Structure 1
Amino acid sequence: MLLSLALAASVATFDPLRFFAGETRGTAALKVILRKARPVSVRGTGRIDRDGILTLDQIVSEGDKPPRPRHWRLRQIAPGRYTGTLTDARGPVTGVVDGATLRLAFTSTGGFRVRQTLTLQPDGRTLANRLEARRFGIRVAVLTERIVKLS
């Protein structure tokens, strides 16, 4: 019992607004059904405005495709609960933090149901990110990424 309490106390609570404020870099592999995995890299710059809203501007490079911009806006609506927008999403992005993990959900502009799990690593500066995209209940793509906070 004491061990489980000690372990629970040592798990950091993830604050996505603070983590993504500043510079971040991500390196990933994107595996789309029936295709070979492609490398993906993401450069991000985030800032928190006076209203507490995170604006995260990213440049995404996927395989041989030209780099493209992506923009997030995320705000806390209750302790551990977030909502926002994303240029790749149709409708709102919702998020829930449970300890060191943030779970995001949205529908992509292409109509895929996306679920993303970001887990803060023990160093406090690295995230493990897993994104799954589904269509008609079938998993069609998986992205696995390592995100590092640079500043």
Structure 2
Amino acid sequence: MRFLVAALPALALLTAAAPPPPTFDALRFFSGRTEGKGRFKVALRAGHDVHVQGHGRMDGDTLILDQIVTREGTDPKPRQWRIREVSPGRYTGTLTDAKGAITGETTGDRLHLAFTSTGGFAVEQWLTIAADGRSAQNRLTAKKFGITVATLDETIRKLD
């Protein structure tokens, strides 16, 4: 008990010294060059590696993110995101792989994106920015009729 009482001030100092996690600013994170490496898994099939090279730039209030997506065993495929912040922490935009608008929302260090793919899948992405603000973990799920049919686990790094 004496040890616990003696350790409390030190524990309080450690807790107080921990910096808060960064806020996920999607427009700033994806501006410049990024690289994603991950594993894409479709239900009942073997997973395969995915590599994404990105270059984002601002055009007025809109982020234009051009990406080249290379899935193991396929030719590289270009895609483009256009995202703008409509209110603090809330985003809307388009994606060449989506039907209709995409929506996004940040809560602290997490960014949630949602859209319907051109194939009719309900897609959700949850990105969590690392403490240093230079990388993020991306967890994507694609559902059809409420059943998860594909997932992606990816690490995205800022290169600039």
TM-score by length of 2: 0.88
Tell me how far apart the structure 1 counterparts of residues 75 and 107 of structure 2 sit (CA, whole Å).
36
Q: Rg bigger for which structure?
A: 2
- The superposition leaves residues 75-117 of structure 1 with CA deviations (integer Å, 9 ceiling, x where unpaired) of 0000010000000000000000000100000000000000000
- Relative to 1, partners in 2 of residues 1:128 and 1:137: Cα closer, same or farther, differing over 3 Å? same
Q: Aligned with 1:17: secondary structure?
A: helix
Q: What residue ranges of structure 2 are gaps of 5+ in the alignment?
A: 1-11
Aligned length in residues: 148
The equivalent of 2:42 in structure 1 is 32
> Which runs of structure 2 are paired with 1:8-87 in the superposition (5 Å)?
10-49=20-59, 51-87=60-96
What is aligned with 1:96?
Answer: 105
Deviation at 1:63, TM superposition (A): 1.0
- What is the CA distance between 1:52 and its match in structure 2? 1.5
Distance 2:65 2:104 in 1: 15
Partner letter of residue 38 of structure 1? H
Please, what TM-score do these two structures have when normalized by structure 1? 0.94
Letter in 2 for 1:117: W
Asked if 1:106 corresponds to 2:115, the answer is: yes
Does the C-alpha gap of structure 1 residues 87 and 11 become closer, same or farther in structure 2, counting only changes over 3 Å?
same
Q: Which amino acid aligns with 1:32?
A: V
2:127 alignment partner AA: L
Give the secondary structure class of the aligned counterpart of 1:91. strand
* 2:38 alignment partner, SS class: strand
Give unpaired runs (5+ residues) of structure 1.
none
Equivalent of 2:143, from 134, 143, 150? 134
